[in-house]
Amino acid sequence: QSVLTQPPSASGTPGQRVTISCSGSSSNIGSNTVIWFQQLPGTAPKVFIYSNNERPSGVPDRFSGSKSGTSASLAISGLQSEDEADYHCAAWDDSLNGPVFGGGTKLTVL
Amino acid sequence: QVHLVQSGAEVKRPGASVKISCKASGYTFTNYYMHWVRQAPGQGLEWMGTINLNVIKTHYAQEFQGRLTVTSDTSADTLYMDLSSLRSDDTAVYYCARGGGLAVVDYWGQGTLVTVSS
């Protein structure tokens, strides 16, 4: 059972806009910034969003993040087939004194 | 650039221990902290423990207290994870990951598959 809650799956057609939610609590998302990772099959996670809404260099600006209270969202606009992957949210947890993760959302591009 | 290279896959019997290494390069090893995170087949990511390499202080998730030991060799920029009393549900891919750069978890190793089977 993951500390952060994500939907197990999401889908969209090429060109569509898709959002993935991530719900936490006051000890994690409510008091710390959120990270989003993309994980392609058989590979390690890669940071796609940090500090709630910042993109590392090389990540397309089609990806954006937002946070409100104890929830966060990842939005992908202009969906492309290469976006098909697992997406994980994460945040530091002040009670556990460590990072916590969502269960991951499998994004399918139809 | 930042690289974290982990040791190879392991197959262990229940009750045994496993030790995995993680060699860092491309940055000053002791300026950051390092995590161990695992991912069971088809499951999400699970934090196991963290070491602050500046002061060599560790903190473990409660679930792994007493079974997990995280150490480092700062002269070799290498991190280690030792997990004992292995069970079948410890079968997972184990990742080392850096913290304190872009985010509390930023760069990841390639992962090490540990299979626990009799």
d(CA B73, nearest CA chain A) in Å: 22
d(CA A56, CA A32): 18
Contacts of A46 in chain B (CB under 8 A): 108
Please report the pLDDT score of residue B102 as a whole number. Answer: 80
Average pLDDT (B33-41) is 96
Q: Would the pLDDT of A1 be above 90?
A: no
CB contact under 8 A, A90 and B104: yes
Contacts of A45 in chain B (CB under 8 A): 45, 95, 108
Q: Would the pLDDT of B11 be above 90?
A: yes
Please report the pLDDT score of residue B103 as a whole number. Answer: 86
Smallest Cβ distance to A35: which of B50, B105, B109? B105
Q: Would the pLDDT of A53 be above 90?
A: yes
Q: Would the pLDDT of B27 be above 90?
A: yes
Contacts of B102 in chain A (CB under 8 A): 47, 50-51, 56
Smallest Cβ distance to B102: which of A50, A90, A91? A50
Please report the pLDDT score of residue A105 as a whole number. Answer: 97
User: Does B55 touch chain A if contact means CB atoms closer than 8 Å?
Assistant: no
CA dihedral of residues B50, A32, A50, A67 (deg, nearest 10) = 150
Query: What separation in angstroms does the CA of A58 have from each of A18, A35, A61?
Result: 20, 16, 9
Intra-chain end-to-end CA distance of chain A, in Å:
28
> Where does the pLDDT of residue A25 fall: very low under 50, low under 70, confident under 90, or very high at 90 and above?
very high
Cβ burial, residue A25 (10 Å; 0-12/13-18/19+): middle
Q: Would the pLDDT of A61 be above 90?
A: yes
Q: Which helix (H) or strand (E) holds A12?
A: strand A9-12
pLDDT tens digits, one per residue of B58-117: 999 999 999 999 999 999 999 999 999 999 999 999 999 999 888 889 999 999 999 999
